[in-house]
Structure 1
Amino acid sequence: MGEKVFLGLSGGVDSALSAALLVEQGYDVTAVYMRNWSRDLPGYRCPWADDLADAERVAVTLGIGLEVWDCEEEYQRTVVDYLVDAYAHGLTPNPDVMCNQTVKFGTFADRAFARGADLIATGHYARVYQDPATGATQLLRAVDEHKDQTYFLWRVGEEAFSRTLFPVGEVRDKAEVRRMCAERGLGVESKPDSDGICFVGPVGIRTFLLDTLERRAGDIVEWETGRVLGHHDGAFLFTVGQRKGLDLGGGPARYVVSTDTEKNVVYVTANPACPGLWCTQLDLSDVHWIAGEPPLDGTYLVRTRHTGELREARVEVLDGGRARVSFPEPVRTVAPGQSAVIYGGLVCLGGGIVEPDPVAYNR
């Protein structure tokens, strides 16, 4: 009762309900709107001012203070620049993972604790649990498995989670979150979920990249034969497994097997069983373990995309911040640059960045 909490209030449904629940539980809540991006893009007006207005209305309804913190420099440097650089080198980045590490549980957390916060809170669908025997803090998947966001939190450390609250992590589902918002008169219960990369908006990643990186005409090549099938505006525009946007005219559906941004070539196949689209092993780099120490080698659950299936796999910890994930049966190849997140039951243990599959890239 009375502990001081700084809450990230985005103007969305989840953070609005989080604020209401914290007030009802007796916390001293200060809401913070993090202005991470305010620049309009071609064909897209950034809605940050609308989101701020929604956050202000929620704060007034709940009788709590709202501050606006400018995080644009950190967001540009650690999220946007990272995304552009990854695509330029043929990787498929995950900006939400980086934003959580560097902005929400980096800049925001640091400023909040410097201001005297006892705790911070966000609207993430996740849970924290403190083991009474060891005192260790664990990150647990949310009650709502479909909305669970621990996949995006694997780069955050235990110390931050030990001082974090996730109020909606125990709520049954998003429909219940909306109903609870409506009951409290917060006025955002009908607001649509944010989707995709927040600063790109509905214009799409292709438009953003072509506005940011140099357009380079190149060939679309059949993976099996080396035959040129068509042309593209830049290999950086494509990701492994992609089917739409190849613009190859009629004929069978084709899938991107790999990209070579140095030679500016995109390799595709019409064969869904193509070995370049499947793998039994993922090598991970830049591995981070939430508890600080790696787990023992063994069988764990692994997720390779948000809301993707949790699959059993053997995880082997390697030297140099690396790990190897081995599946008992072939799985769809994961785009290099994406995250593979590792779980022990409900507990999110950590994860790593997927390296290129040598089968797909052996051209």
Structure 2
Amino acid sequence: MGKRVYLGMSGGVDSSLSAALLLEQGYDVKAVYMRNWSRDLPGFKCTWAEDLADAERVCVTLGLDLEVWDCEREYKQTVVDYLVDSYAHGLTPNPDVMCNQTVKFGTFADRAFAEGADYVATGHYARAVADPADSAGATTRLMRAADEHKDQTYFLWRVPRDIFARTLFPVGGIASKAEVRAMCAERGLGVERKPDSDGICFVGEVGIRTFLLDTLERRAGDIVDWETGAVLGRHDGAFLFTVGQRKGLNLGGGPARYVVRTDVEKNIVYVTANRDCPALWTSSMELADVHLVAEDLPEGDYLVRTRHTGELRRAHVTLTPSAEHSQAPCAEASAASCQQAGLAARIDFAEPLRTVAPGQSAVIYDGLRCMGGGIIQRPCD
């Protein structure tokens, strides 16, 4: 009762209900809107002002003051630049992973605690639970949300583990998003019909292709058949494509084709029409930039997720010494704050799965508990 909580308010359904629940639970709540990105893109007007207006209306309803913190510099350096650099190197990054580490649980949390906050809170679908094996109560476990479909622990694996002991996830234990919306309506918050935000927030409706072509130089190159080496078409830059991609190849009629590999140095995109092509499947992968949310990760069998809301797959995980040079570019601030610098991992799946684009995250679970994760590397040729 009376503990001071700094809540990240986005103007969305989840953070709005989080504010109401924290007040009902007796916390002293300070609401903060993080302005991370305000730049308009060609054909897309950034919605930050509308989101801020929604957050302000909710705060008025709840009797809360709302502060706006300018986080654009940090966001540009550690999220946007990271995304652009990754694509330029032929990788497919998870910018939300970096945003959580460097902004929401970096800049925001650091300032909140410096100002005297006892806790920080967000509208993430996740749970921070005291470790039952620690009688002193000093250890906190990051657990998947009650709503498995909305679970966001996949995006939290790079957050420093000690922050979870001082983090509240008010909606993490609610069974469904429908129930969250109903609870917003019951409290008269006025945001219950607001649609979920999907995709990369600063890219918006223009899509990642338009954003990258507005940022990186267009480079015409060949689309090549993986099996025969025949040139099938042209593209505007190999960095625009990701492994497994089917749409956007513009090859005219004929069978659907899938991206097997991209070579950004030679500017070639390799495709196949064979859905069973061995290059589209894998039984193992290597991870770099591994970060542990748990205190340790003994070699053994775990569950691994390679996409947000993707299937949890059984796999054998082994921590390994990191290669001298990681393939995954990492923003300097992000690398500096990684607690387990130098860790890598090998994952051997119980059954083959579709190859995942290098640069994506693989997150490791022991039952419901998130143990940590890493950045998927390019397969060895």
Into which bin does the TM-score normalised by the smaller protein fall?
over 0.9
How far the C-alpha of 1:132 sits from its partner, in A, is 4.1
Q: What one-letter code is carried by the residue in structure 1 that aligns with 2:33? A: Y
The residue correspondences of 1:78-93 to structure 2 (distance < 5 A) are 78-93=78-93
Residue 299 of structure 1 is aligned with which of 291, 301, 308?
A: 301
Shift of 1:330: 1.0
What corresponds to 2:115 in structure 1? 115
Secondary structure of 1:236 counterpart: helix
- Residue 328 of structure 1: CA displacement? 1.9
1:329 Cα offset (Å) = 1.6
Shift of 1:294: 3.2
Quick one: percent identity of the two aligned structures?
76
| Cα deviation code 1:297-340 (max 9, x no counterpart) | 00000000000000100001101211000012211001000000
Aligned pairs (5 A) from 1:6-25: 6-25=6-25
Extract structure 1 runs of 4+ deviating beyond 6 A: none
State the aligned residue count: 358
Counterpart Cα distance in 2 of 1:154 and 1:334: 18
Gaps of 5+ in 2: 323-342
RMSD over equivalenced CA pairs, Å: 0.7
State the alpha-carbon separation in 2 of the partners of residues 156 and 210 from structure 1: 31
CA contact (8 A) 1:294 1:317 kept: no
CA deviations 1:61-81 (Å, max 9, x no partner) are: 111111000000000000000
Aligned to 2:321: 319
Deviations 1:216-241 (A, max 9, x none): 00000001111110000000000000
Question: Which residue type is aligned with residue 350 of structure 2?
Answer: P
Which residue of structure 2 lines up, in the alignment, with residue 183 of structure 1? 186
Correspondence for 2:359: 337
Q: Deviations over 1:102-127 (max 9, x none)?
A: 00000000000011100000000000
TM-score with structure 2 length normalisation?
A: 0.93
Instruction: Provide the TM-score with structure 1 as the length reference.
Output: 0.98
Tell me what 1:328 maps to: 350
Aligned to 2:378: 356
Give 1:223-302 correspondences, 5 Å limit.
Answer: 223-291=226-294, 293-302=295-304
Give how far 1:157 is off: 1.9
| Whole-angstrom CA distance in 2 between matches of 1:344 and 1:94 | 22
**Paired residue secondary structure (2:149):** coil
CA distance in 2, matches of 1:115, 1:132: 30
**Separation in structure 2 between the aligned mates of residue 345 and residue 251 of structure 1, nearest angstrom:** 44
In structure 2, the residue corresponding to 1:162 is in which secondary structure?
A: helix
Q: Aligned-pair distance for 1:51? A: 0.3
- Structure 1, unmatched stretches of 5+, are none
Q: Report the alpha carbon displacement of residue 133 of structure 1 after superposing the two structures with TM.
A: 3.5
2:109 counterpart SS class: helix
Q: Quick one: distance in 2 between partners of 1:324 and 1:197?
A: 28
